């Protein structure tokens, strides 16, 4: 990975990153592809900092209008560019299925997202599909000037006042998460530092947060790479390819492996067959 400073932003080169796969693989819901003359261009934000980023070609990216300070202070970390994924993928490739998943989806990087946004996003994700999740989050941010609302802001809402989200039965869960977070009964920054079993337990005290959502918050919002969300797709992977259990050599980075496997299984020609 290298970068240079240009008048129109930061040019990132030799980066092991596939932008479309990373931003549209179901780990984040607030990035949107927009038309451009580049391979692809996405608009989104992290902690109220907007970004427009284009993939120019394989390994090369333009972060439009971004200063070096913002690149080093925010986006380098957000895209997890300080981590070397090649060694990781080399390890994964000892396993046949993981090897295929790496070949197919190895351009995905684990974004270092905001834990609060992640918590609400994955509460909304339960028994839901990705386009509708994006729609609900879009309406939520749209009513807050395009920014993701804070816990304090959301704690003033009620399931009734959130009806415009059309989030269904999840509205009461959003409210509980907001109340707990705003009041400090749940401290996400502290949860992020807890031993993982304790962190899971703490997250699951929030109404509407079960094993799957807790694991997603740990993985995507707290960068706990040993967290391993099991949804219907991953359940199929485990039953089909790992009846003896998931390989222990990948345990410390099981969450990243899970990302590759999720993307791989969902795009297998013929679905699960």
Partner DNA sequence: CGCCAGGACGCCC
Partner DNA sequence: GGGCGTCATGGC
Binding site for DNA (CB under 7 A): 25-27, 125-132, 163, 166-169, 204, 207-214, 216, 229-234, 258-259, 262
Nearer to DNA, 51 or 265 (CB): 265
Nearer to DNA, 3 or 122 (CB): 122
Taking alpha carbons only, the member of 250, 262, 256 closest to residue 94 is 250
Q: Give the shortest CB-228-to-DNA separation in angstroms.
A: 8
Sheet holding 49-57, edge to edge: 2-6, 9-13, 60-64, 49-57, 40-46, 32-34
The end-to-end CA distance of the chain, in Å, is: 37
Q: Least distance in Å: CB of 150 to DNA?
A: 23
The minimum distance between CB 70 and DNA, in angstroms, equals 27
Instruction: Answer whether 134's CB lies under 8 Å from 110's CB.
Output: no
Q: Smallest gap, in angstroms, from Cβ of residue 67 to DNA?
A: 31
Burial grade of 257 (CB within 10 A; 0-12, 13-18, 19 or more): buried
Please count the CA atoms within 13 angstroms of the CA of 148 that sit on its side-chain side. 24
Phi then psi for residue 2, to 5 deg, are -145, 165
**Comparison of 30 and 63: residue with beta carbon closer to DNA:** 30
CB-nearer residue toward DNA: 76 or 237: 237
Task: Choose between 49 and 267: whose C-beta lies nearer to DNA.
Answer: 267
- Write out the H or E segment, with its range, that includes residue 261: helix 254-266
Min dist. Cβ of residue 101 to DNA (A): 13
In angstroms, give the least distance from the CB of 221 to DNA: 13
Q: Supply φ then ψ for residue 156, to 5 degrees.
A: -85, -5
H or E segment to which residue 4 belongs:
strand 2-6
Nearer to DNA, 12 or 111 (CB): 111
Q: What are the tokens at 51?
A: 């970004």
């Amino acid at each position: 990975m290298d970068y240079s400073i240009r008048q129109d932003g930061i040019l990132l080169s030799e980066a092991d990153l596939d932008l479309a796969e990373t931003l549209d693989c179901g780990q984040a819901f607030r990035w949107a592809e927009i038309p451009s003359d580049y391979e692809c261009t996405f608009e989104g934000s992290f902690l109220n900092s907007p970004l427009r980023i284009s993939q120019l070609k394989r390994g090369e990216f333009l972060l439009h209008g971004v200063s070096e300070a913002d690149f080093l202070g925010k986006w380098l970390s957000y895209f997890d560019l300080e981590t070397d994924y090649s060694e990781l993928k080399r390890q994964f490739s000892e396993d046949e299925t993981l090897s295929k998943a790496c070949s197919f989806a190895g351009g995905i990087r684990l974004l270092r997202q905001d834990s609060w946004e992640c918590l609400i996003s994955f509460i909304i994700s339960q028994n839901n599909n990705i386009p509708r999740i994006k729609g609900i989050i879009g309406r939520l941010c749209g009513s807050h000037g395009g920014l993701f609302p804070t816990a304090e802001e959301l704690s003033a809402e009620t399931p009734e006042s959130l009806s415009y989200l059309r989030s269904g039965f999840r509205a009461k869960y959003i409210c509980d998460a907001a109340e707990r977070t705003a009041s400090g009964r749940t401290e996400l920054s502290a949860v992020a530092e807890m031993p993982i079993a304790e962190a899971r337990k703490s997250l699951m005290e929030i109404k509407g947060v079960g094993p799957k959502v807790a694991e997603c918050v740990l993985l995507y919002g707290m960068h706990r790479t040993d967290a391993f969300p099991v949804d219907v797709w991953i359940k199929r992977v485990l039953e089909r390819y790992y009846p003896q259990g998931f390989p222990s050599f990948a345990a410390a980075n099981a969450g990243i492996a899970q990302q590759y496997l999720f993307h791989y299984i969902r795009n297998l020609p013929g679905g699960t067959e």
